[in-house]
Every structure is written in C-alpha cells, then in structure tokens.
Amino acid sequence: MANAKVIQAKQEAVDVVTAKLRDSVSTVVADYRGLNVSQVTELRKQLREAGVEFQVLKNTLLRRATAAAELTELDEVLTGPTAIAFSADDAVAPAKILNDFAKKNDALKLKGGVVEGRVVGVDQVKALAELPSRDGLLSMLLSVLQAPMRNFALAVKAVAEKEEQGA
C-alpha cells in the first residue's frame, strides 16, 4: 500500500511539472551548485517579485515531465543539481533575473530552457535576457506609434507659425 501511495505522489508531481512546462511562456534551467542559503534566498525573492516560480527538482522527475510535455531535447541539460524557473506571463523575466544573478554569482550556471514551447540553449537564454522587459518593449512600441502623430503635430505647428510671421 505504501508503495502505491509513493508512486501516486510522484506521478502527481510529474503531472504538475508537465503542466508548468506546457503552460509557461518561458522556462529556464540552471545549476545552482555552490550558492549558499542567503544567495538562494535572495534569488528566490527576486524571482518571486517578478512572478516567476523557482523550484529545485530531481532530474528523473524532470525527464518524465519533459517526456510527457514532448520536450525531450531538454533532457541533455538535466545533469547535476537542477533548479528550474517557470514564468506563465513574462518570457524575459526568468532569463533576465537568472542571467543577472549569474553575472554577480559565478556559482549559478545557466543550462538552457524552453521559450514558448521550443527548447533553447544557453546562448539563446542569454540573448533573451538582454532583451528589454515586457514593459520596456511596450513603452518602445508606444513611442514608435506616437512618433508619426508627434511629427505631424510639429509640422502643423511650424506651418501655423510661419503663416503667422508672414501675415
């Protein structure tokens, strides 16, 4: 009876991780070996504030979840201690926070990830981390959309001023 309960609990854990892999827009896998408790606590705090879920999971559990989510290409980075960050909202946040933290703490090593259902390597995770945040991208888009109207308004104002001077 105890074995059946343990197996059921493990299957439920695999199902939860599989759902997170499928539902998240961005997932980053990292090796946290060498970080002390205060560093891990600080990292978790930064991730939590950004709405990113951070877990340390066994590689066998992760491999079963990647198989169920049809992301088996991720299995090659599932060696050694593995921490995984899931974000359901912001594709850039986990990569940005983990990459910035890794720059300050050599012990944290990025391994790879999944972005919008596609497995990516370390280089792509780092490239994603260099992108502006979602809010930054939206403000850039807004300024691009406003530019033609602003230029038109300035042109109309210049024509009006010129006519006033000429009259």
Query: Does 166 score more than 80 pLDDT?
Result: no
Residue 4: the pLDDT is 85
**What confidence tier does 2 reach under pLDDT thresholds 50, 70, 90?**
low
Query: Does 163 score more than 60 pLDDT?
Result: yes
User: pLDDT tens digit string along 108-161?
Assistant: 888 888 888 888 888 888 888 887 766 777 888 888 888 888 888 888 888 888
Mean pLDDT, rounded, for 26-42: 89
SS3 state at 110 = strand
Residue 167: the pLDDT is 62
Q: Do 54 and 83 meet the contact criterion of CB atoms below 8 Å apart?
A: yes
SS3 state at 46 = helix
Question: Rg (Cα) of the chain, in Å, rounded?
Answer: 23
Read off the pTM: 0.72
User: pLDDT tens digit string along 44-58?
Assistant: 999 899 888 998 888
Question: In percent, how much of the chain has pLDDT > 70?
Answer: 97
Spacing of C-alpha 107 from chain mean position: 19
Query: Does 24 score more than 70 pLDDT?
Result: yes
Residue 45: the pLDDT is 92
Query: Does 89 score more than 70 pLDDT?
Result: yes
Query: Does 39 score more than 60 pLDDT?
Result: yes
Sign of CA dihedral 64, 120, 77, 72: positive
Summary mean pLDDT of the chain: 85
Residue 84: the pLDDT is 92
Q: Kindly tell me the number of DSSP H helices and DSSP E strands found in the chain.
A: 6, 5
Q: Do 56 and 82 meet the contact criterion of CB atoms below 8 Å apart?
A: yes
Residue 123: the pLDDT is 85
